[in-house]
Amino acid sequence: TIASAKGNLKSNVKFGVEPEKIVSPEDYQSDFHQYWERAKKELAAVDPQFKMTLVDSLSTGTKNMYVVEMRSLGNVQVKGWYAVPKKPGKYPAILHVQGYSSFLKPEWMYGGDDMISFGLNIRGHGFSKLDIDPWPTHPYIADHIHDKEMYIYRGAYMDCRRALDFLCTRPEVDTTKLVVEGGSQGGALSAATAALNPERIKLCLPHVPFLSDFKDYFALVNWPGNEVKNYLEKNYISWDQAFYTLSYIDIKNLAHLIKCPVFMAIGLMDDVCPPHINFAFYNQVKTRKEYLVYPFSGHGVPNEYHKLKYDWIKKNLGIDK
């Protein structure tokens, strides 16, 4: 802040120096891998009850649009948008996952007709609130934070796995070319999906990823840290207990399970999901990876990124012809 005779002039400047050297050690629990294997088995025991409904008003171009309903962990209903090229054939498929509190809509999905796109609304988001909707009473991120077995993101990560189950049942999907992408919470969901489904996901594209390096995260940001703090105090839950649960969800702890190439984009001016937590995850990824920094972007990326990501997907799937 610079003082002058006419008042104060304030300017924010952020810079990064060798972000690949940011060290935030993994802190997962001794039963971490068993925890997620158990979640997968619980999901497998749930009848998915896949249901597709054509949306005529959104199927006027070169793709048909469907609403997909399915049952996920805990028999929770979740829904998504499924866009399929009308021309017969087998196509790569992109799983789009959404940001915190948002409603993922068809206009956010890939619009071309050379790939299938599936826009998932995880539990408690968009039109997937039939069975779970914590928002009216408390922050989503705090839902069952005292109980690792019931914590909402355990179910949300399994919702993404169920979406892959759906894609793998479809004859028009080339299951050797499945991609996951999203920003903020969607960045975390992308990372978790790639980590917990390494045999399926071929490319992972998180941008400005959330749900990483929680101890540092809550020390760095105001929101949603203030909401979580208030919730913990109101419900007599300690930070130690919360961090214990969050260690199972933290994408920096899941990163070592990712087997596919990763392309991460961040905003250097991001004060919601700061670069520190982005790289806490990224630097634990052991596969081929690359990142892109937008120096003047905050919690978001420029529109140009979205063309870039689809070009990157096509190049790495070998369909950029």
Residues that are catalytic? 184, 270, 299
Residue 160, sorted as left (phi over 0), alpha (psi -120 to 50) or beta, turns out to be alpha
* 3-state DSSP percent of the chain in helix, strand and coil, to 5: 35, 20, 40
**Inter-residue contact 207 to 264 (CB < 8 Å):** yes
Residues 6 or more apart whose CB falls under 8 angstroms from that of 89 comprise 172
**Inter-residue contact 32 to 51 (CB < 8 Å):** no
Query: What one-character DSSP code corresponds to residue 279?
Result: H
Question: What CA–CA distance (Å, rounded) separates 220 from 226?
Answer: 11
Closest C-alpha among 249, 212, 244 to residue 39: 249
Query: What one-character DSSP code corresponds to residue 10?
Result: -
Question: What CA–CA distance (Å, rounded) separates 135 from 123?
Answer: 11
Question: What CA–CA distance (Å, rounded) separates 278 from 296?
Answer: 16
Q: Which two tokens stand for residue 17?
A: 């120096």
**Inter-residue contact 99 to 93 (CB < 8 Å):** no
Judged by DSSP in three states, 283 sits in coil
Question: What CA–CA distance (Å, rounded) separates 254 from 256?
Answer: 6
